[in-house]
Amino acid sequence: MSAVREDAQAARPAKDSGRGSAKDPYTKRTGAGNKDISRGRGPGPAGLAGLRVPDSLLATAPAARRDAVRLLVGEQRTGAVTHHGFRDLPKLLRAGDVLVVNTSRTLPAAVDGRLDGQPVVVHWSTRRDDGRWVVEVRDPDGHGSTVRRAGGPAGAVVDLRAGARLVLEEPLDPAGDRLWVAAPSLPDPVAYMRRYGRPIRYGYTDRDQPLAAYQTVFSARSTDGLGSAEMPSAGRPFTTALVTELVCRGVQIAPITLHTGVASVEAHEPPYAEPYTVSATTAWQVNAARAAGGRVVAVGTTAVRALESVADERGVVRPGGGWTELVVTAERGVRAVDGLLTGLHEPEASHLLMLRALSGDRLLERVYAEALRGGYLWHEFGDVNLLLP
């Protein structure tokens, strides 16, 4: 282990409101509350504005072993930045801490089709309450991945295999054209994906991977049969053996479910509304741990989003579910979450809004500088970052 140390960080910013909703929110534009972006300010701290991640640091394939990735730790209290292997995680947590994990399974959400006679790839993102789906239609890049294309137009029909059709009805956001609300002719689109689809893959990866490579040890079939368009990747390095060691050391595992939509890899848009569930058992675990002095560490930004959507201003978590439009920013702060285990994000990514809320700008800048200096790998198959209070 090696360390870099600085002065302790300032206290977290004050917190204001932001809750989830039980109703389908797609009748209005999503992303409200993201004040940093609406003012034209980038999501990351100023010190990351010039940061560029070289192609050599983009993880192109999974590690030979899930837990054989590196772990970069930033501690807000001391300002320390330390280097570890992921298998060191049980030693970095303590009895009474709670890891909040996302149990959503990854769907084979990339499906080939044709639009106006040309090949396209449909990324199925999120099912709405009315049965329509939010989708992104992309062009194949000739190397097994895809590139962005202009969406629509309204009324366009994507022809799918086995005679299925997908009608693009309206853009999800009137100001954009990437994501579209579409009506499928299929009675069960998820079953169709399982037969004809494959995992969504982006251009920095070097080849297709089986769906199993995109599942985490925590993934479980949901009662509604749905899942995530893309893997809740912060949970990927965990193994059964590592989870067993954590539990034996007194670290609790608390599940939530949030079905993630497709990422905005080119435009880095803020997240839109996603369906989630926080159970009564998980709410009790989190509240009991905080009352006893334990730390609540979210595994992934999706776990933060779900938990913060049902936390009141005092940080008390109540069971709930539905749709969350919450965007956690440094201005809003966090209420129920103390730490975060997450991957490394592009400097333009909206995820950095949440990371700033947890770590503060100065520590986050040092963490990312160390990640570049140390040759850490980015993206879903890459290394991970643990931010502790």
Does pLDDT of 14 surpass 50?
Answer: no
Residue 354 CA to residue 307 CA, distance in Å, equals 13
Contacts of residue 41, defined as CB under 8 A and 6 or more positions apart, other chains included, come to none
φ/ψ region of 232 (left if φ > 0, alpha if ψ in -120 to 50, else beta) reads beta
Instruction: Give the per-residue pLDDT at 265.
Output: 67
Q: Is the dihedral of CA 97, 98, 99, 100 positive or negative?
A: negative
Instruction: Give the per-residue pLDDT at 18.
Output: 43
φ/ψ region of 163 (left if φ > 0, alpha if ψ in -120 to 50, else beta) reads left
Among 281, 290, 287, 292, residue whose Cα is nearest residue 257:
281
Give 326-353 pLDDT, tens digit per residue. Answer: 999 999 999 999 999 999 998 878 888 8
Does pLDDT of 363 surpass 90?
Answer: yes
Give 205-223 pLDDT, tens digit per residue. Answer: 999 999 999 999 999 998 8
Instruction: Give the per-residue pLDDT at 43.
Output: 67
Contact in structure between 373 and 61 (CB atoms under 8 Å): no
Give 159-191 pLDDT, tens digit per residue. Answer: 999 999 999 999 998 888 899 999 999 999 999
Provide mean pLDDT across the span 29-34.
Answer: 35
267: which 2 tokens? 């435009």
